[in-house]
Amino acid sequence: MKLFRHGPKGSERPGCFDLDGVARDLTDIVPDIAGEVLTPEGLHALGRHDVTKLPLVPDGVRMGAAIGQIGKFVCIGVNFSDHAEEANMTVPAEPIIFMKPISAVAGPFDDVELPRGSVKSDWEVELGIVIGEPGRYIEEANAMAHIAGYCVVNDLSERQLQLEGTGQWVKGKAHDCFGPIGPWLVTADEIADPQALPMWLEVNGTRYQNGNSRTMVHKVPFLVSYVSQFMSLQSGDVIATGTPAGVGMGQKPPVFLKPGDVMRLGIDGLGEQLQRVSGYAA
């Protein structure tokens, strides 16, 4: 299934595509694409419905973040060796974990606002894992059974705040709207191999990132297991798994986002995002 959320920010409604690719409203069946709906039992129950009888979603409606009521937005740093090289960082022996606040979550086509005074805001296309079955201390061999599906994430980053001065990663990653998610949550049964997904990002029509999830240092099942050693994972939690080479700070000379720029990014099978940089925080 391809699940999504549509409508004004803060009032999104659940939706899905039927077998003909027609967008249908799920409000009469589930309250949101969130929580228990994303468990194996919840997705199985949802899949039994004949959605062709449900109302159509109007053309042109805003798409919200594909998952609602996210409890944790966990991110993995420096998880592609080519990105580590361009960032002049050592590939870590263990995953680097940081978190974005839920206030950073945004829709896949929402405008992006830069932090006040930002001079080094950057882009990162990433594969997002969405947890379905809750768990902690999950064995790697069982990790895939805990995944509801996958989505596109843009892990926007202000590099000066992240890496310079008293730099802490969360300071550069936490700005409002710095975590667009979607356009869809694609359930795990539709993705034959999450480690074989082309992923790309363009700014103003120039392609900067052109990678593939196969080159992750730490793979999807290991990441789910690893993160669960430090925190319980609940249904609807999101894990962003790192970005391939081609970020702005890796260009020669570096290229950073400015008002008026347009980012377009996507992962094969998971859809595309499009964001315009609207300006700076007031």
Q: What is the DSSP string of 125-154?
A: EEEEEEE-S-BSS--GGGGGGGEEEEEEEE
Residue 82: per-residue pLDDT: 80
Residue 87: per-residue pLDDT: 77
Residue with tokens 């590099």: 159
DSSP 3-state assignment of 229?
Answer: coil
Residue 166: HSE in the Cβ half-sphere, 13 Å Cα cutoff: 1
- Which neighbouring-strand residues pair with 206? 203
Residue 157: per-residue pLDDT: 97
| pLDDT surpassing 80 at residue 252 | yes
Is the entire prediction scored with pTM above 0.75? yes
CA angle 236, 266, 178 (to 5 degrees): 60
Could you state, in order of their start, the residue ranges of all structural domains in the chain?
Answer: 65-280
| pLDDT surpassing 80 at residue 88 | no
Average pLDDT (105-109) is: 98
Average pLDDT (34-44) is: 98
267 — phi, psi (to 5°)? -135, 135
| Span 9-21, pLDDT tens digits | 999 999 999 999 9
Amino acid identity, residue 74?
Answer: V
- Which neighbouring-strand residues pair with 154? 125
Q: Structure tokens of 210?
A: 């052109």
Average pLDDT (85-109) is: 91
| pLDDT surpassing 90 at residue 254 | yes
Residue 247: per-residue pLDDT: 97
200 — phi, psi (to 5°)? -155, 160
Residue 143: per-residue pLDDT: 98
| pLDDT surpassing 90 at residue 37 | yes
- For a pLDDT cut of 70, what percent of the chain falls above it? 100
Q: Indicate the pLDDT class of residue 253, thresholds 50, 70 and 90.
A: very high
| Span 185-225, pLDDT tens digits | 999 999 999 999 999 999 999 999 999 999 999 999 999 99
Range scoring the smallest mean pLDDT among 40-49, 108-117, 165-174? 165-174
| Span 140-177, pLDDT tens digits | 999 999 999 999 999 999 999 999 988 789 999 999 99
Residue 136: per-residue pLDDT: 98
In terms of Cβ atoms closer than 10 Å to its own Cβ (0-12, 13-18, 19+), residue 272 is: middle
Mean pLDDT taken over the chain: 96
Domain 65-280 CATH assignment equals 3.90.850.10: yes
Residue 98: per-residue pLDDT: 97
Cβ-contact 227, 134 below 8 angstroms: no
| pLDDT surpassing 80 at residue 134 | yes
Check residues 91 and 79 and name the one with the higher pLDDT. Answer: 79
DSSP 3-state assignment of 48?
Answer: coil
Q: Structure tokens of 280?
A: 């700076």
